[in-house]
């Protein structure tokens, strides 16, 4: 191994005592490849197995916690106990390769396609549609329904524990329901779940509390609880960097095992809400967190050099997403001093060798600009 990358291969102990063998995490990515009944498909299991050997931790694609939270075609289900054997199959396969297995739990809110949810009824914090072409006005959830969804996040966590996962990641990013409650764009409520910045945090923090209480009750060994967030929204009104720093401040005191920022570019700078727009979002976050909880950084990390530069900022863990689809042997190549052999563009003829399920492969080749293609 080239000595300048050796720090990426040191082990890391999370706050709850769980040890990761290195600093590289597989980022959560939707793969559209579950079976029609919501169970994990064999193609999905094989896809994860192909990528679980090198990394310290795998965060799965998101699973929905209620039927009206299904956000994607071919998303696997986490909303009922019948799914526990399916979960178990996925968790066991990832763990057998030596990585920790973390299940991402989620509700799509106003971004759910109507054809995927009961009666085609989309729900959110308020009846404000997303600012995107063809967006539908959601129905505002009642307080009772909100409580039921909080409960459902707890129930899916219990299923993850029973299935043998090492942890869950609460998906509070990318414009989905948890973020919709935090955002002044999508949350115009005037009850205890909306209004001020503090009240808009009520739902996200209640989910964290619920998940942690379920872990306390059901887990017999240390169980990882992480939280993913997006730092800003382009909409006005929308989440600003200042809003996120306030949320992160609250989350950092919640006894979580990590926070995970969702970024498309690791070194991106804030849009608004802070004084210095030349300082990176990562730097702002690390400063606010002040070592209270580990931060996972992510965003367009393709080469070993990209990872080294990211790690030098002080984030203890680096997540890699698309690059592990392009080159599942990324970690092993860096570990063996073969970083110059890393592939950074998808080879259209390589689906079988890369073990990518058909639905995901089809999207990779047909969504312009999503993946670099050779």
Q: Which of 47, 48, 64, 176 is catalytic?
A: 176
Q: Is the dihedral of CA 248, 139, 234, 308 positive or negative?
A: positive
For residue 227, the cross-strand partners are 170, 259
For residue 258, the cross-strand partners are 226
Mean pLDDT per 10-residue section of the chain, whose length is 374 residues: 96 98 98 98 98 98 98 98 98 98 98 98 98 96 98 99 99 98 98 98 98 98 98 97 98 98 98 98 98 98 98 98 98 98 97 98 96 95
Task: Please state the pTM of the whole predicted model.
Answer: 0.98
Per-residue pLDDT at 365: 96
How far is it, in rounded angstroms, from Cα 243 to Cα 238?
9
Within a 13 Å sphere around the CA of 320, how many CA atoms are in the beta-carbon half?
A: 28
- Spatial CB neighbours of 368, under 8 Å, sequence gap ≥ 6: none
How far is it, in rounded angstroms, from Cα 132 to Cα 113?
13
Q: Is 176 a catalytic residue?
A: yes
Asked if 261 and 282 touch (Cβ cutoff 8 Å), the reply is: yes
Backbone angles phi, psi at 164, to 5 degrees: 95, 15
pLDDT digits (tens, 9 = 90+) for 228-272: 999 999 999 999 999 999 999 999 999 999 999 999 999 999 999
Domain 3-366 has CATH 3.30.565.10: no
pLDDT digits (tens, 9 = 90+) for 4-27: 999 999 999 999 999 999 999 999
How far is it, in rounded angstroms, from Cα 121 to Cα 141?
11
Per-residue pLDDT at 354: 98
């Amino acid at each position: 191994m080239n000595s300048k990358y050796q720090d990426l291969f040191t082990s890391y102990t999370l706050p709850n005592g769980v040890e990761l063998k290195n600093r590289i995490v597989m980022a959560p990515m939707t793969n559209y490849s579950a079976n029609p009944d919501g169970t994990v498909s064999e193609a999905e299991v094989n896809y994860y197995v192909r990528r679980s050997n090198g990394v310290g931790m795998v965060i799965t694609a998101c699973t929905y916690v209620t039927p009206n939270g299904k956000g994607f075609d071919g998303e696997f289900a986490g909303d009922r106990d019948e799914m526990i054997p399916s979960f178990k199959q996925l968790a066991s396969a990832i763990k057998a390769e030596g990585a920790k297995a973390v299940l991402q739990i989620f509700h799509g809110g106003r971004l759910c396609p109507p054809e995927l949810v009961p009666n085609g009824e989309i729900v959110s914090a308020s009846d404000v549609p997303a600012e995107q072409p063809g967006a539908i006005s959601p129905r505002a959830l009642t307080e009772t329904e909100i409580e039921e969804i909080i409960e459902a996040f707890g129930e899916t966590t219990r299923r993850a524990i029973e299935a043998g996962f090492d942890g869950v990641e609460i998906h509070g990013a990318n414009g989905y329901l948890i973020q919709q409650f935090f955002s002044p764009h999508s949350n115009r409520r005037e009850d205890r779940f909306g209004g001020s910045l503090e009240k808009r945090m009520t739902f996200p923090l209640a989910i964290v509390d619920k998940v942690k209480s379920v872990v306390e009750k059901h887990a017999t060994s240390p169980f990882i609880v992480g939280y993913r967030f997006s730092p800003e929204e382009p909409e006005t009104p929308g989440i600003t960097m200042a809003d996120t720093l306030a949320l992160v401040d609250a989350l950092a005191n919640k006894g979580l095992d990590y926070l995970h920022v969702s970024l498309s570019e690791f070194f991106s700078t804030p849009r608004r809400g802070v004084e210095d727009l030349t300082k990176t979002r990562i730097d702002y976050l690390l400063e606010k967190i002040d070592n209270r909880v580990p931060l996972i950084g992510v965003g367009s990390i393709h080469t070993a050099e990209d990872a080294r530069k990211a790690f030098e900022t002080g984030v203890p863990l680096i997540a890699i997403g698309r690059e592990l689809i392009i080159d599942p042997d990324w970690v092993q190549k860096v570990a063996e001093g073969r970083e110059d052999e890393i592939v950074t563009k998808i080879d259209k003829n390589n689906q079988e060798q890369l073990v990518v399920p058909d639905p995901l492969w089809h999207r990779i080749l047909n969504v312009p600009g999503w993946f670099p293609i050779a």
